[in-house]
Amino acid sequence: MGIIEKMRLDGKAIYVTGAASGIGKCAAMAFAEAGADVAIVDINIEGAEAVAKEIADATGSRTIAIQCDVTSQEQVETMVAKVVETYGKLDACYNNAGIALNVPAEEMTYEQWLKVININLNGVFLCATAAGRVMLKQGYGSIINTASMSGHIVNVPQPQCAYNASKAGVIMLTKSLAIEWAKTGVRVNCISPGYIGTDLIMNAPHLKPLIEQWNAMAPMGRLGKPEELQSVLVYLAGDTSSFTTGSDIVVDGAFTCF
C-alpha cells in the first residue's frame, strides 16, 4: 500500500466543531473526501445541517449535524455521545470552534474576556476531555485542536489580548494532554494557522484596512486559504501520524519567523 492510500481515512468517524463555516467547514470536507464519516458540529444548527448535506452530496460520506454550545459541558458530552451512538466509535476529532474580539485591554469588559476564553480555551478543554474519555476506553484516537500563530506572537495592529491568551492556552493544553495520554494510544496535537482568508474575514468591510496591513507584513504577501490547512488536518487525523503527538504545527506563511 502506497503512502497516499495509507493517508486515507476510510471507515473513520470524526467530529468537527465550528463546522458550519470557515476553517471548520473546509476541514470537514477534507475529512469526508478522504473517506471519513463526519459529524458537523456548530451552535448554528441550520448552517450545520446545510453543510452536512453539502458534504454528503459531494462525497457520499455519512454525515450528521449536531447543535452544540462548546462552553456547556452537558451539551459537549451529549454531542460526543451522539457521535459514538451514530458511528459506533470516535476515531478523531477537530476542536475548532472559536471567536475573536478586537477590543483594547483597558476597555475590555470582564464579560468580553470570559466569552473569548470560554469558547476558545474552556471549550477546547471540554471537547478534548469528553472525546478523550471515549478514546481512552477504545485505546486509540486522535484529538486535533485549533490554536493560532496568535499563541506565539502578539498580533498588530488589532488589540486582541483575550484571543492571544486563549490560543497560547490551547497550545499548552494540547501539550499537557499529549503527555498525560502518550502511552494510551490517544494522540493530541494542534495547528496554529496564520491569517486565513475565510469568507467571514474576506467579506467584512471593517477588516479590509487590517487585511491590507497584514498582507504588507506577511512574507508571502497574502492571507492563507482554508484549503491550505486541509492536508495537515488529514495527516493528523489518520494513522500515518501515529508518532506525532504534542505537536503544534504552524501554518502561517512564515509570518512568525521574524
Global pTM? 0.97
Residue type, 94: Y
CATH code for the domain in which residue 107 is found:
3.40.50.720
SS3 198: coil
Domain assignment of residue 244, yes or no: no
Domain assignment of residue 68, yes or no: yes
Q: Are 37 and 54 in contact (CB under 8 A)?
A: no
pLDDT the model gives residue 1: 82
**Nearest by Cα to 119 from 100, 91, 141, 102:** 100
Domain assignment of residue 248, yes or no: no
| Catalytic site positions | 148, 163, 167
Cα(197)–Cα(211) distance, rounded to whole angstroms?
9
Range 70-97 average pLDDT: 98
Domain assignment of residue 252, yes or no: no
Question: How many domains does the chain fold into?
Answer: 1
Domain that holds residue 182: 3-239
CA distances from 213 to 200, 224, 250 (A): 18, 14, 21
Domain assignment of residue 247, yes or no: no
| pLDDT tens-digit series, residues 205-234 | 888 899 999 999 999 999 999 999 999 999
Domain assignment of residue 253, yes or no: no
